[in-house]
Structure 1
Amino acid sequence: MTLPSWTDEKYGTMKRAALWLVSVVGEGNVFTKEDIKDAFPGVSQADRRVRDLRDYGWRIDTHREDLSLGQHEQRFVAQGTPVWEPGRATKSGTAITQTQRRDVLAKDGHLCRSCGIAPGEVYAGTFETAQLDIARRMVKQPGGGAKVELLAECNRCRVGGRGHSIDLEEFMSAVARLGSLQQSMLAGWVAQDKREFGAVERLWAEYRTLPEESRAKVQEFLAPRNS
């Protein structure tokens, strides 16, 4: 089926922007706000209309989701609903409001729920500071069904966690299989919403990030101590 022309003004800015992404930018390619301005000269808030496409299942990444992108770059990753077709402009999700954002950040202690880093804190071994945003997580509910729940995640964890879901009933079953001492320990961590990791655990986590050659050297160093 032949696509309508993205220059046809009868479609409105958002639909034209969708057609421009498909026809001109192409999936997997990078564009900037300046590219949008050049494509839609004199059109107010054309970049916002591009962002609106995310509510229709379009995946458009910024530097928050793709660390290889510059501050002003975006990547057209995948097309969503063909909004230019009659009756197809149905949103696949609801935009997160500022009130929801504030509530989620407050409930999550203004910390990334995946790694625990705070906004503005520097990632270990880098000069990069963390930014917090709101992520959606698909949660399978006990008794069936699933719903999207919101949580705070940093820019790094959002990239790695995209598409992640959790089965809450399976999680509860795993907790039930723990011994009473382990359940009591877990309950304490849950109550405090905090856990201090010991030196051995921190070293294990860091070991897991090492390249194969370095892991081999650590294994060689520890071998006599494990014999």
Structure 2
Amino acid sequence: MDLPVWTDAKLGTMKRAALWLVGVIGEGNVFTKEDVKEAFPGVSQADRRVRDLRDHGWQIDTNREDASLGQHEQRFVKQGAPVWEPGKGTRPGTSISQTRRREVLARDGHFCRSCGIAPGEIYAGTYESAQLDIARRVVRQRGGRETVELVIECNRCRVGGRGTAVDLGSMLASIDTLGGIERRLLATWIDQDHREFSKVERLWAEYRTLPEESRASIRTALEAGN
């Protein structure tokens, strides 16, 4: 099926921007705000409409997510929903007011819910500081119905979590199988919104992030101690 022509002004700016990215820029390639202005002369907030595509599953990275990019560069990483098709370009409630943003930040404790880092904190082993933002998480409820919920994530975790869904129904089913002690323990962690991890658990989490060569070194060290 042939795609609509991106220069067709009747489509609306966001749909035209999506078609421009697909047909002119191409996945994996870099563009700038000036490129957007040149492609859409006289169109107000064209760059904003490009950013709006992220709410439809499009991955468009800036130097916050990709350190190789310049300050004014963006990379079209992956196409999301074909917003130019009927019914695919609208999503109710996609804009987040500043009041709602503050509410979500306060509710989530002003730290990334995925990794726990605080705003401005430096990622371990780097000189990069964390920035927090609102992420929309698809949550699959019991019965299969999907909802979109807001959560605070840092720039690293937000990029890595795009396109993923949480199966709340499966989690609730797992809770039903817990014994009394396990349920009380989990309830305590949730009530405190904090859990201390053991040394072994921290080592396991760090091990999972290592390249294969380093993982092999860990396995060798453990075998040598047996």
Structure 1 residues 21-54: Cα deviation after superposition (integer angstroms, max 9, x where no partner) = 3432223322111212233445443322333444
TM-score by length of 2: 0.82
Contact 1:133 1:153 in 2 (8 A): yes
What pairs up with 1:125-164 in 2 under 5 angstroms?
Answer: 125-164=125-164
Report deviation, 1:106: 1.0
Question: 2 CA distance for matches of 1:79 and 1:187?
Answer: 37
| 2:118 equivalent in structure 1 | 118
What pairs up with 1:203-214 in 2 under 5 angstroms?
Answer: 203-214=203-214
Report deviation, 1:15: 5.0
Structure 1 residues 172-203: Cα deviation after superposition (integer angstroms, max 9, x where no partner) = 22223233222222111110001122222212
Contact 2:36 2:47 in 1 (8 A): yes
**Structure 1 residues 113 and 216, CA gap change in structure 2 (3 angstroms):** same
**Structure 1 residues 197 and 36, CA gap change in structure 2 (3 angstroms):** same
Question: 2 CA distance for matches of 1:146 and 1:5?
Answer: 31
Structure index of larger Rg: 1
Structure 1 residues 94-134: Cα deviation after superposition (integer angstroms, max 9, x where no partner) = 22232222211111001111111111101111111111111
Secondary structure of 2:225 counterpart: helix
| 1:4 equivalent in structure 2 | 5
Question: 2 CA distance for matches of 1:144 and 1:92?
Answer: 19
Secondary structure of 1:134 counterpart: strand
Question: 2 CA distance for matches of 1:112 and 1:209?
Answer: 18
Structure 1 residues 139-198: Cα deviation after superposition (integer angstroms, max 9, x where no partner) = 122344221111111111112212222222221222232332222221111100011222
Moved more, 23-32 or 184-193: 23-32
Unaligned runs of 5+ in 1: none
Structure 1 residues 189-224: Cα deviation after superposition (integer angstroms, max 9, x where no partner) = 110001122222212221222222222222222224
| 2:188 equivalent in structure 1 | 188
Contact 1:58 1:81 in 2 (8 A): no
Identity %: 63
Report deviation, 1:66: 4.6
Question: 2 CA distance for matches of 1:186 and 1:5?
Answer: 52
**Structure 1 residues 216 and 26, CA gap change in structure 2 (3 angstroms):** closer
